[in-house]
Structure 1
């Protein structure tokens, strides 16, 4: 196995509530993520999936436990180093596309490169163009987000997340705002680009069909990750086909 990009041991997250007992969201999460891994995490609403994703993406810190990124413990990182590590090493794709409405598709993808030094900053227009071409939007570079379909907006969001060539991609319900067919196309694209880039991909999802694409699938329950195999319910098309066959 390749050396882990992420190594989590015993992660907990507790939130203090006024006039109530503390809320324990994560109770001891262990996870190793290596280059090329594709991992899915499922769980009911409120189970702490997004909390875990924020910790793995260096947006938040655990209450207890250890998290290492490329062998460096989170506790030893200054705030500045953590921000630089997240900016260069982690790409985020969310259910809500979070595109800037007053910017074109290309300008949205350029945004992360404004914080890049040297070559990345000066080549940001070319790099954004190349990334949008890779996701099939070479003809839509100068379109505003409100002129793009939901699937196209998600493609722009994926291009923005990957333009700095992160080693870890975190996708939080990336197909949740899309219809089934468009969602399948987006997952095909995300899988392909992650594989081509040699990046690890962690997908948070409620959809067992999306989870089943992963090499390793987990369910977050009672604050702990349990490795599992998604149980796929038959689609309407499959049921119709079975009825025709009978």
Structure 2
């Protein structure tokens, strides 16, 4: 029996009503399938609907039209409380601005999601956090606070935090936007290697065509419409 996709969007739209009672369409008829082990790259300009799509994929927002399934289950059957548990357990978020706790060490930042994990994860949170940091080349920096880490090191801490519960999906929102080109390339190498090692699906949402082009499946988001790019074609 074939395993259901992790995420399925079919004809998904997202609209918002403005103060003057007009309707703003943010996403329109989006079709997307995310399977275990996939690496998807979605490129789009500011205002194209990238953040809204990320929020829907991460169960932070819901479509106003179309259908969405999580592991084969229609999203309307998943309560807000259960969606929060799925986010904590199965979805890892990597943000452009890192969003690290400034007064906590690298290990404490990575261990933070485990405070809400299983009893075993809670008890082993420091060891599990140290293990992931070691895998990402930060074993010597586990006790450093963010202010004492470079931009690339901070992003690696953010990646470790996203991976520590071994999520089924990583959603990376402009993961290299705050980094220089060389550091950004190194961080993407680490993110892809870590996703492959953990068997995690990776969805990268970016304005940078070069970052999107690294993915196995590439898409362009333009004015709320998601368009697949031909396999092997350049993303411009």
TM-score range, shorter chain: over 0.9
Q: Give CA deviations for 1:171-215 in whole Å, capped at 9, x if unaligned.
A: 000000000000000000000010111111000011111111100
The answer to whether the 8 A contact 1:9-1:30 is kept is yes
Match in the other structure for 1:238: none
* 1:2-41 matches, cutoff 5 A: 3-19=4-20, 21-41=22-42
Match in the other structure for 1:222: 223
- Stretch of structure 1 that moved more, 219-228 or 45-54: 219-228
CA distance in 2, matches of 1:119, 1:20: 50
Q: TM-score, normalised on structure 2?
A: 0.95
What is the CA-CA distance between 1:81 and the residue it aligns to? 1.1
How many corresponding residue pairs? 233
The answer to whether the 8 A contact 2:47-2:223 is kept is no
Match in the other structure for 1:144: 145
* 1:31-110 matches, cutoff 5 A: 31-110=32-111
Q: Give CA deviations for 1:28-85 in whole Å, capped at 9, x if unaligned.
A: 1111110110001011110001100110010111111111111111100112111111
The runs of 5 or more residues in structure 1 that have no matched partner are 234-246
The answer to whether the 8 A contact 1:38-1:214 is kept is yes
**Which 4+ stretches in 1 moved above 6 angstroms?**
none
Match in the other structure for 1:165: 166
The runs of 5 or more residues in structure 2 that have no matched partner are none
- Stretch of structure 1 that moved more, 55-64 or 145-154: 55-64
CA distance in 1, matches of 2:208, 2:234: 10
- Stretch of structure 1 that moved more, 90-99 or 217-226: 217-226
Q: CA-atom RMSD, angstroms?
A: 1.3
CA distance in 1, matches of 2:58, 2:6: 11
Q: Give CA deviations for 1:91-125 in whole Å, capped at 9, x if unaligned.
A: 00010000000100000001000001211111000
The answer to whether the 8 A contact 2:103-2:145 is kept is yes
What is the CA-CA distance between 1:222 and the residue it aligns to? 2.7
| SS of equivalent to 1:188 | helix
| SS of equivalent to 2:89 | helix
The answer to whether the 8 A contact 2:102-2:147 is kept is yes
Q: 2:234 aligns with which of 231, 235, 238?
A: 231
Q: TM-score, normalised on structure 1?
A: 0.92
* 1:120-131 matches, cutoff 5 A: 120-131=121-132
The answer to whether the 8 A contact 1:171-1:204 is kept is yes
CA distance in 1, matches of 2:82, 2:24: 30
| SS of equivalent to 2:141 | coil
Match in the other structure for 1:175: 176
